[in-house]
Amino acid sequence: WAPLSSSPHTNSTTIMAVEFDGGVVIGADSRTTTGAYIANRVTDKLTPIHDRIFCCRSGSAADTQAIADAVSYQLGFHSIELDEPPLVQTAANLFKQMCYRYREELMAGIIVAGWDKRRGGQVYTVPMGGMLVRQPVSVGGSGSSYIYGFIDSKYKSGMTKEECLRFTADALALAMERDGSSGGVVRLAAITESGLERSVILGNQLPTFFSA
Amino acid sequence: MLNSSTQCEMTSGGFCFDNARRNAVLEAELSEKGYKAPKARKTGTTIAGMVFKDGVILGADTRATDDMVVADKNCMKIHYIAPNIYCCGAGVAADAEILTQMMSSNIELHSLSTGRPPLVVTVTRQIKQKLFRYQGHIGSSLIVGGVDVDGPQLYSIFPHGSYDKLPFLTMGSGAAAAVSVFEDRFKAKMELEEAKQLVRDAITAGIFCDLGSGSNVDLCVITEKGVDYLRGYDRPSQKGQREGSYRYKLGTTPVLTKTVTPLTLDVVEESIKTMDTQ
């Protein structure tokens, strides 16, 4: 069986972002599929938009890569004009404007997360269709359906950075276990005022749960 | 400098999807009249690339198919982009060929303008932006590989405009066969000969296990020192020697009658055209 390049290249995915006091934790799986073939099993879906602002991409790989490039350019330009780091809300609005204006043509579900001086750690979700809303914790992608219950029961406000990292890794591992379109490794990043910490959890190191 | 008042507004230049809508309307109109839009010839290919200790190696088969007939037994799928950057193309043959030629020209102009040797990321970005603009209607999947100041790099680009940067890649109809060889034997920082053998084996897997790929293996080794384009590095599917003779002996069919009618013909024009029969 041969992979058909005519099928769109999608990041059917699980992505997640959590706010904590002083920053955000973001995470994603690493699978990109073309039909039923995995075109990239180590994808990096956590894309930097600016020094302290990232986006998590789900949906069409081509659409989200193109949107992220366009928004990074616009935000970089805006930041130079302002002569200060841009706000996460600005980045989120740029994504929303593009995703809403071209909503019929694009297939992109994006979570924008980062840290800025005005409001600290923030997570904004821009699902398909172009809505924008700020949430303390947000999940997206095809695998997110399987972990809403887990998120709702396990999330509590006031978690530390380490608790958020563990919470995100657990949630993504559960989603990857159940969703065929998510898998590979778990990529995590913690964004704070002082900088960025990226980590990878390989397949054999993922948290394990009950499996029938 | 641009006006800050226009900065956060969406420039109407942005993404233009008008042609995609026009194409959809045209296809609908054609199918109403009972005609099918013409199908473009695809290469049905196995292309592969990997990063080794000193650079990158690109590999490709050499069969071009027209549905179920082999249109070209020895076509070149590894295209020149810049002295240090080459590109394998799969998908629609014409699209891959023209796209890489256009990129090659643009990159040369860009390189003269910057005064620096071209970067592989530049090639990748220009190609993916063009493919995204055409929303997948340019049906070419590419593997771009090269060595520049940032080291050896390998990128895959899909027709819709998405790209991946990986240490080894395969594309085309034979990709599944070839990637299995890589998944088994790839290691980081391999030596040249071992790496060439691995790419050769991956392409050979595609040649034997995929109907759309065949003929020979072409390799292109790119290092800091230069490029080694190995056309026809391996020919795993050469025509075999016929064992027996199936010719009938002279006189097997008896001649009963013979009539000779001479035709007077004048030679008007003579021209010689050489054919590539290998």
pLDDT in tens, A13-50: 999 999 999 999 999 999 998 888 899 999 999 999 99
Say yes or no for a CB contact (<8 Å) between A5 and B139.
yes
Nearest to B123 by CA among B154, B92, B95, B167: B154
| pLDDT over 50 (residue B7) | no
Specify the pLDDT at position B71: 84
Nearest to B201 by CA among B91, B50, B43, B64: B50
Of A12-21, A129-138, B18-27, B121-130, least confident by mean pLDDT is B18-27
Please give, rounded to a whole number of angstroms, the shortest distance from the CA of B6 to a CA of chain A. 11
Dihedral angle of Cα B88, B90, B92, B97, to the nearest 10 degrees: 10
In a domain, B89, yes or no: yes
In a domain, B114, yes or no: yes
At A154-165, the pLDDT tens digits run 999 999 999 999
More confident residue, A111 or B33: A111
Specify the pLDDT at position B15: 64
At B201-249, the pLDDT tens digits run 999 999 999 888 888 999 999 999 999 999 988 888 777 788 888 888 8
Specify the pLDDT at position A7: 61
**CB of A81 less than 8 A from some CB of B:** yes
At B82-97, the pLDDT tens digits run 999 999 999 888 899 9
Specify the pLDDT at position B12: 56
**CB of A60 less than 8 A from some CB of B:** yes
| pLDDT over 80 (residue B6) | no
> Which pLDDT band holds residue B9 (cuts at 50, 70, 90)?
very low
Helices (H), chain B: 4-7, 18-32, 93-114, 120-133, 175-185, 192-209
In a domain, B5, yes or no: no
In a domain, B191, yes or no: yes
Please state at what angle helix A88-101 crosses helix A61-82, rounded to 10 degrees: 140
Say yes or no for a CB contact (<8 Å) between B90 and A5.
yes
Say yes or no for a CB contact (<8 Å) between A40 and B158.
no
Taking contacts as CB-CB distances below 8 angstroms, the residues of chain A near B172 are 5
In a domain, B40, yes or no: no
> Which pLDDT band holds residue B250 (cuts at 50, 70, 90)?
confident
- Give the best residue of B162, B166, B213 to mutate against chain A (max A CB count within 10 A): B162
Of A197-201, B73-77, B181-185, least confident by mean pLDDT is B73-77
Specify the pLDDT at position B30: 84
Taking contacts as CB-CB distances below 8 angstroms, the residues of chain A near B164 are 32, 39-40, 43
Q: What percent of chain A has pLDDT over 70?
A: 94
Specify the pLDDT at position B28: 86
> Domain range for residue B170?
46-234
In a domain, B61, yes or no: yes
Say yes or no for a CB contact (<8 Å) between A40 and B174.
no
Closest in A6, A43, A66 to B132, CB measured: A66
Please give, rounded to a whole number of angstroms, the shortest distance from the CA of A184 to a CA of chain B. 14
Q: Catalytic residue among B6, B11, B43, B45, which? A: B45
The ipTM of this complex is 0.88
Nearest to A111 by CA among A2, A12, A205, A28: A28
C-alpha B69/C-alpha B214 separation (Å) is 12
Chains A & B: contacts with CB separation below 8 Å = 81
Specify the pLDDT at position A10: 64
In a domain, B277, yes or no: no
Strand B217-223 and strand B227-234: the pairing is: antiparallel
Taking contacts as CB-CB distances below 8 angstroms, the residues of chain B near A8 are 136, 160
Taking contacts as CB-CB distances below 8 angstroms, the residues of chain A near B141 are 5
Q: Which of residues 86-105 of A touch B (CB under 8 A)?
A: 94, 97-98, 101-102, 105
> Which pLDDT band holds residue B3 (cuts at 50, 70, 90)?
very low
Closest in A8, A42, A97 to B10, CB measured: A97
Average pLDDT over residues B16-33: 80
Backbone CA torsion sign across B66, B71, B76, B79: negative
Average pLDDT over residues A130-152: 96
**Terminal C-alpha separation, chain B:** 59
**CB of A144 less than 8 A from some CB of B:** no
Residue B95 belongs to domain with CATH number: 3.60.20.10
Average pLDDT, chain B: 88
List residues of A with catalytic annotation.
Answer: 13
Cβ(A31)–Cβ(B164) below 8 Å: no
Please give, rounded to a whole number of angstroms, the shortest distance from the CA of A197 to a CA of chain B. 21
**Complete DSSP assignment for B7-53:** HTSPPTTS---HHHHHHHHHHHHHHHTT--PPPPPB----EEEEE-S
Average pLDDT over residues B112-121: 96
Taking contacts as CB-CB distances below 8 angstroms, the residues of chain B near A99 are none
Taking contacts as CB-CB distances below 8 angstroms, the residues of chain B near A63 are 160
Please give, rounded to a whole number of angstroms, the shortest distance from the CA of A55 to a CA of chain B. 16
More confident residue, B18 or B64: B64
At A72-105, the pLDDT tens digits run 999 999 999 999 999 999 999 999 999 999 999 9
pTM for the predicted model, two decimal places: 0.81
Closest in B2, B162, B175 to A2, CB measured: B175
Number of domains in chain B: 1
- Give the best residue of B1, B4, B6, B158 to mutate against chain A (max A CB count within 10 A): B158
Taking contacts as CB-CB distances below 8 angstroms, the residues of chain B near A40 are 164, 166
In a domain, B268, yes or no: no
Nearest to B108 by CA among B123, B96, B94: B123
| pLDDT over 80 (residue B256) | yes
| pLDDT over 70 (residue A137) | yes
